Each structure stands twice: as structure tokens, then as C-alpha cells.
Structure 1
Amino acid sequence: MTVIKKLVTLLRGSAREIGESVVDSNATRIYEQEIIDAKHSIEKAKGDLTGVMAKEMQSAREIERLKKEITRYEGLAIEALNKTQEGLALDVAAKVGTIEQELEEQAKAHASYALQVSKLKELIKSAEARIREHEREIGIAKTTESVYRATQSISENIGSGGSRLANARESLERIRARHEDLADRMTASQALENELGHQALEKKLAAAGIGSDADRTGKVMERIRARQANPGGAASE
């Protein structure tokens, strides 16, 4: 039984550690969602506030209506007295008393609505100010996380011989070596062509005074001198 209890305790501890790890790794996302939830609550509070404000306006209109009723019935009571209708004036006075009682109830309700509106407005303003503060904090937290990730990426990519940056440099060196090898091959090919190819043989023949191009320069000079000696001969041809 003791072993089973220890195993259960171990499982509970592992579950707690896993849960804390998940929360820690997603802390920013959870924080952001909590801000979103708070915004929804504020929107709901604003809806409730509009409802209370509507009741406050309605009670204010009702108060004005009752005041007008009282004024009207008091005028009627005065008319009744002027016509020596004492009993009728008394009935009207009773009506005024009933309306005044209703007016008092409406005034209490209106005062209550006004107090609720004032409190809700203050709560909403305070909550919105806290949310703006939290939004600034989440912005700072996101920026900090981005800096940490960039720093970690730089640390992973430069430092060790087997890092990505080192591998990239090795690739660049291989490309350079391949280009140098290709350039050397082209140079060697040109040198071989100059030494053993058709052009090399022609150059050797020309240098030895052999072939059709051997004394081309001499022949051209002879033709130029002949034209110089006989200027009209070229024109007559």
C-alpha cells in the first residue's frame, strides 16, 4: 500500500511539473488570452451600463411627468376651492398625495440608477486603464522573447565548428575551390592549345618562313612601293 501511495504521489508530482512546464512555455499566449477575456468582460459591462443608463433616463422622464401631474392636479384643486367644491378639492388633494408618493419612489430609483451608472463608469475606466497597461507589458514581453530567440539562434548558428554558419562557410570554400579549378583547367587548355594545337603549328610555320602567310608582310610592302612608284598605274587598272 505504501508503494502504491508513493507511485500516486510521484504521478501527481509529474503531472504538476508537466502542467507548470506547459504554462511556462505558453505564458505569453496565456497572458494575451487573459487580456482578451478581460476586454470581453469590459464590453459586457458596457452593455450592462447602457441598460442602467436607459433606466436612469426613463426614471428621469417619469419624474418630470409626475411633477407635471402634481402641478396640474394642484391647479384643479384650486379651481375646485374657488368654486366652493371643498369635497372635490379634497379628492384632488388625495390624488396629489398618491402622485407625490409615487414621485418619491421614482426619485429613489433614479438616485439608485445614477449611483450604479457612476460606479460602473469608474470601474470600466479603471479596467480599461489596467488593460492598456497589460497590453504595454505584453508588447514588452513579446519583444523580449523575440530578442531571446534571436540571441539563441545566433548562439546556435555561430560558435561551434559544426554550426550552420560554419557549414555555410565550408560550402562557400568548396564553391571557390571549384571555380579556381575550373579557371585553372581553362588556362591549361588554352596553354595546351597554344603549344600543341593547330594555331601553334601555324605560328611555328610562319616563324620559319614557311607557308602562304610566311612573307605576307613583305609582299604587301612590295605592292605598296609599286603603287608609290607608279601612281597612275592603279587608276588605269
Structure 2
Amino acid sequence: MSIFKKIITAVRGGATEAGEAIVDANSTRIFEQEIRDSEKHITIAKRDLTEVMAKQMQAARELAQLQASIKEHEGYAMQALNQSNEALAIEVAEKIAELETTAAEQQQANESFLKSADRLKELIKKSERQLTEYKRQLTMVKTTESVQKATSAITDNFTASNSKLLNAKDSLERIKKKQAMFDDKLKAAEQLESETPEQTLKNKLQEAGIGEQQNSAQSVLDRLKNK
């Protein structure tokens, strides 16, 4: 295959993919339009059926008239024969033959109209049943799409909310760390203050029992016993 043909094939392939993508993106809309088109065709078919049925009724009526005319002329022929008027009888017989030919043609037309009407009725019933099923499927498809869109929106919102929650958690941890750092600084300052040389010496003298001692319940009790 030449390079040019390969390019043409690639372009055609890309066009096919693009066309399929468009069809997939608008599949529900296309399906709904096809249902509307089918409804129009059924309406047209019903109109055609009405015309066929009307023609069949007309053919049946004309056939009945021909059959009545044949029967009537048969009576005329019998009367002519009874009168030994064979020439008149032959003339009437020719008329009967003509009427019978027309009646046979009308009978065929009547049967053809009946068959066409029955076939159209069956096709219309089948099409209407199928159309009803398609409408039900369309409702289900639309409902499914709505649920999927809602689910997608919920998922997107949850993802966004989860991200915001994670950000809030990070902010809270930063606040807690900052507050803990502040408390640690206070404790460190108190510790440094307690560790000054003067305070440290005072603490050591008190531990050794030298110098001014803090009053305690036990020291008060001992003093009272000595008295």
C-alpha cells in the first residue's frame, strides 16, 4: 500500500472514530429522535391503512352490486328462453359473461385489499408494541443517566470536601503545634527563672535545714510539743 493510500486510510479511520464519538456522546438524543421518527411512520402507516380499508370496502360494495346484477340478468336470460327467444337469451348471456369477468377482477382486487389491510394491521401492531418497549427503555436510560450524573456530582463534591477536610486537618495540626510551642516556651521560662543562682542557693540551704525554713504543719506540731 502506498503512503498516500495509508494516509487516506488513516484519515478515514480518524473520521470514523470521530463520528462514533459524536454518536456515543449523543446516543440518548439520537434514540429519542428515532422514536419520534418511528411514531411519525406509524401515523403515516395508519393513514395508508385507512385508505386501503376504504378501497377494500368500495371493492366489496362494487362486487356485491355486480353479483346482484349477474343474478338479475340470469333471470332475464331464463325468461327469454322460456319465451323461446334464443337471440335475446344469447344477448343477455353475453352481458352476464361481461359482468362475471368484471366481478372476477373485482373479487381479486377485494382480496388484495383485504390481504394488504391485514398485513398493515399486523405491522402496525408489531411496531406499536416495539415502540412502547423503546419508550420504556428510553425512560430507564434517562433515569440511569440522571442517577449517574447525580452520583458523579456527589463523588466530585465528596472528593472536593475530603480535600478541604484534609486542609482543615493540616491547619488544626499547625494551630496545635503553635499552641504547644507557646506552652513549652512558658514552661521553659519558668524553669529558667527557678534556676537562677540566688534561687538555687536558697533551695539548697532549705534542703540542708539552714537559714529561714518554711513553716509546715509538722514544724508547728513539733514546736507545740516542745512547749
Q: Tell me the TM-score range normalised by the shorter chain.
A: 0.5 to 0.7
Deviation for aligned residue 1:5: 4.5
Q: Which amino acid aligns with 2:130?
A: R
User: What does residue 154 of structure 1 align with?
Assistant: 154
User: What does residue 140 of structure 2 align with?
Assistant: 140
User: What does residue 203 of structure 1 align with?
Assistant: none
- Distance in 2 between the 1:19 and 1:91 partners? 75
Matched, 1:73 2:67: no
Deviation for aligned residue 1:159: 2.2
Per-residue CA deviation, residues 7-55 of structure 1 (Å, 9 max, x unaligned), is 4444333322221111111100011111111111111111211111111
- Distance in 1 between the 2:59 and 2:85 partners? 35
Taking structure 1 as reference, are residues 148 and 76 closer, same or farther at Cα in structure 2, changes over 3 Å only? same
Q: Which amino acid aligns with 1:126?
A: K
Q: Name the % identity.
A: 45
What SS does the corresponding residue of 1:84 show, helix, strand or coil?
coil
Per-residue CA deviation, residues 183-223 of structure 1 (Å, 9 max, x unaligned), is xxxxxxxxxxxxxxxxxxxxxxxxxxxxxxxxxxxxxxxxx
Q: Which amino acid aligns with 1:135?
A: K
- Any unmatched runs of 5+ in structure 1? 171-237
- Distance in 2 between the 1:69 and 1:151 partners? 77
Q: Which moved more, 1:47-56 or 1:124-133?
A: 47-56
- Distance in 2 between the 1:30 and 1:156 partners? 28
What SS does the corresponding residue of 2:159 show, helix, strand or coil?
coil
Per-residue CA deviation, residues 79-111 of structure 1 (Å, 9 max, x unaligned), is 222322121011111111111111111111111
- Distance in 2 between the 1:131 and 1:82 partners? 66
- Distance in 1 between the 2:23 and 2:15 partners? 12
Taking structure 1 as reference, are residues 8 and 162 closer, same or farther at Cα in structure 2, changes over 3 Å only? farther
Taking structure 1 as reference, are residues 6 and 99 closer, same or farther at Cα in structure 2, changes over 3 Å only? closer
TM-score under structure 1 length normalisation: 0.64
TM-score under structure 2 length normalisation: 0.67
Deviation for aligned residue 1:4: 4.6
- Distance in 2 between the 1:67 and 1:4 partners? 75
Matched, 1:91 2:91: yes
Taking structure 1 as reference, are residues 21 and 82 closer, same or farther at Cα in structure 2, changes over 3 Å only? same
Q: Which amino acid aligns with 1:57?
A: M
What SS does the corresponding residue of 1:152 show, helix, strand or coil?
helix
User: What does residue 63 of structure 2 align with?
Assistant: 63
- Distance in 1 between the 2:135 and 2:89 partners? 67
User: What does residue 116 of structure 1 align with?
Assistant: 116
Q: Which amino acid aligns with 2:47?
A: G
User: What does residue 125 of structure 2 align with?
Assistant: 125
Q: Which moved more, 1:73-82 or 1:144-153?
A: 73-82
User: What does residue 210 of structure 2 align with?
Assistant: none
- Distance in 2 between the 1:70 and 1:58 partners? 18
Q: Which amino acid aligns with 2:82?
A: N
Matched, 1:33 2:28: no
Q: Which amino acid aligns with 2:86?
A: E
Matched, 1:21 2:12: no
- Distance in 2 between the 1:10 and 1:162 partners? 44
CA RMSD of aligned residues (A): 2.2
User: What does residue 52 of structure 1 align with?
Assistant: 52
- Distance in 1 between the 2:94 and 2:148 partners? 80
Taking structure 1 as reference, are residues 82 and 18 closer, same or farther at Cα in structure 2, changes over 3 Å only? same
Aligned residues: 166
Taking structure 1 as reference, are residues 87 and 3 closer, same or farther at Cα in structure 2, changes over 3 Å only? closer
Per-residue CA deviation, residues 109-163 of structure 1 (Å, 9 max, x unaligned), is 1111111111110011001101111111111000000000000111111223487
- Distance in 1 between the 2:87 and 2:3 partners? 96
